[in-house]
Amino acid sequence: MTVTKSGYAAIIGRPNVGKSTLMNAILGEKVSITSPKPQTTRWQILGVKIVDDTQIIFVDTPGINREQKRAMNRYLNKIASSVLKDADVIVFMIDAVSWRGEDDLVLEKLKHTDKPVILAINKIDLVKDKGELLPLIERLQEKYEFKHIVPISALDDDNLAALESAIVKFMPPGPMLFPEDQITDKSERFQVAEIIREKLIQNTEEELPYAVSVEIEEYKQTEELTEISAVIWVERQGQKIIIIGKKGARLKKVGIQARRDIEKVTGNKVFLRLWVKIKENWTDDDRALRSLGYE
Ligand code: GDP
Ligand code: MG
């Protein structure tokens, strides 16, 4: 079918509601990394999908935070706000289990936009008695004039087609904005760095996500092998020790898990080298952030 409509659907919501999981589920590939920890998603990532006659460009956004102190948080808030201006439709995501103060914070931002807003209630797989969803939906209808309310489970791929149909309704007439076979705006190199960061976050405690960043130093592709060298940047010696682990065990585990996922992306055998280096207080220094590509 030819594409006659196209536009941007921004997925917004507090950390951990499942925005990146939804994006991956809709696209059928890991383009955005996920974890139970806040600030896993640092970048604005686009995912492209054609649904009937419409090309939808999904925008996965970092969560909106109350914390303004660190440069990283300022950055997160800035792109969260610019996304609201550029989108054709906004998907506001919450989880079915709990409404928190941070959800109110996002809702406050929505009051400053006249864009259509669809409410996606995620993680309904965790709600045993589906009847409980009705009073929740009624309460939410009083909070804001949502164009649609769609209960989903991103993890179980439940009711996602209904969400897609709701989004399609608000897409303006227009041509394809990305080539038909492209599913993300990010390069393979970027996806590799993100996969390494995901494994680091998943294998360490709460504190580390803020401090870690991954830089690809070497990316050599031959017919049967992709050779990758990556630097894991941290802020302090203590963090370096944590990442490396006893006798290098943690870094080794991260490397094995990352290589497995990277091979799915490249479709090639991967040889992965990882180094850990220290750059002091980089999250708190705008210039250091820029040097690492956080524009
Ligand atoms: P984000 O911060 O909004 O991007 O959230 P993520 O996509 O990183 O997901 C946060 C956590 O919630 C991860 O551990 C996911 O596996 C989990 N999660 C996401 N969607 C669902 C869902 O539909 N059901 C359940 N049970 N867990 C989910
Ligand atoms: Mg995310």
Q: What is the CATH number of the domain that holds 274?
A: 3.30.300.20
Beta strands in 138-292 (DSSP E): 148-151, 213-221, 225-234, 269-278
193-222 pLDDT per residue, tens? 999 999 999 998 866 766 788 999 999 988
Q: What is the pTM of this model?
A: 0.82
Q: For residue 112, is it within any domain?
A: yes
Same domain, 201 and 244: yes
**Which pLDDT score is estimated for 280?**
77
- In angstroms, what is the span from residue 22 Cα to ligand 2's centroid? 9
Does the C-beta of 36 come closer than 6 Å to ligand 1?
yes
Give the closest ligand to the alpha carbon of residue 26.
1
Q: What is the CB-side half-sphere exposure of residue 56 using CA atoms within 13 A?
A: 26
Same domain, 226 and 82: no
54-110 pLDDT per residue, tens? 999 999 887 655 554 565 566 556 656 677 788 999 999 999 999 988 788 788 878
Give the residue numbers spanning the domain of 88: 5-168
> What's the CATH number where 90 sits?
3.40.50.300
Q: For residue 173, is it within any domain?
A: no
- In angstroms, what is the span from residue 152 Cα to ligand 1's centroid? 12
**Which pLDDT score is estimated for 74?**
62
Whether 95 and 14 have beta carbons less than 8 Å apart is answered as no
Task: Give the residue-averaged pLDDT of 14-42.
Answer: 85
- How many domains is the chain partitioned into structurally? 2
Least confident of 39-48, 193-202, 228-237: 39-48
Tokens 């009937």 locate to 52
